[in-house]
Amino acid sequence: MSPFDVILFDVGGVLLTNGWDRRERAAAAEHFQIDLPSLEAHHLLVVASWERGEIDLDTYLDGAVFYEPRPFSREDFFAFILSQSKVLPNGALGILGQLCTSNNCMIGALNNEARETNEYRFREFGLRRYFKLALSSCFIGRRKPELAMYRCALDVLGAPPERVLFIDDRQENADGATAAGMKAIVFKGEAALRQELQELGVL
């Protein structure tokens, strides 16, 4: 019997690369010849609303990139964003597949992601075949590491917090889950995660 009723995975940094983080924005700034500090400053003004599903892609791009005329299109810029998503080297996709095959508990996602990129990443990399539910920030209107994000997840799951395991690559996000009563693992590579799951009796 599994020690957990539910195991929740972050996506970026655990299964896939971070789709639109600092490194990806730096690459975009170089590719499109945008001033990076300006892009970062404008991005921070609107990204939380985008990831919570409060604004759509066009509104995000208006605020983050197209606040002044550009010699490239929105379509080209968004295509570049999507191109940054790849399977994470030394990531946990193999472990995710193994857990799903064992069918010992519910497997889901708990991730910060805007709707447009979330839909692409889930579709392109076949993540929906693994996840029984997706508690993405764009669907529930909260973001990690806000405590409300984890409490909302627990409300949806209807599971005791101590029966929920959360896996994320960022300490602050793991700490948020722990504060809500969940068990949390900070992802540090496939081998380390496999060992931790074996020690917990999950694998």
On whether the CB atoms of residues 36 and 25 are closer than 8 A, the answer is yes
Q: Classify each residue of 44-73 as buried b or exposed e, where b means 16 or more C-beta atoms within 10 Å of its C-beta.
A: eebbeebbbbebeeeebbebbbbeeeeeee
Reading the block at residue 6, the tokens are 């539910």
- Tens digit of pLDDT per residue, the chain (203 long)? 789 999 999 999 999 999 999 999 999 999 999 999 999 999 999 999 999 999 999 999 999 999 999 999 999 999 999 999 999 999 999 999 999 998 889 999 999 999 999 999 999 999 999 999 999 999 999 999 999 999 999 999 999 999 999 999 999 999 999 999 999 999 999 999 999 999 999 99
Calculate the CA dihedral of residues 42, 44, 46, 52 and round it to 10 degrees.
160
Going from the N-terminus, what domains does the chain have, and what CATH number goes with each? 6-17+88-200 (3.40.50.1000), 22-83 (1.10.150.240)
Please report the pLDDT score of residue 26 as a whole number: 98
| CB-facing half-sphere around the CA of 120: CA atoms within 13 A | 19
- DSSP E strands: which ranges in 10-134? 106-109, 133-134
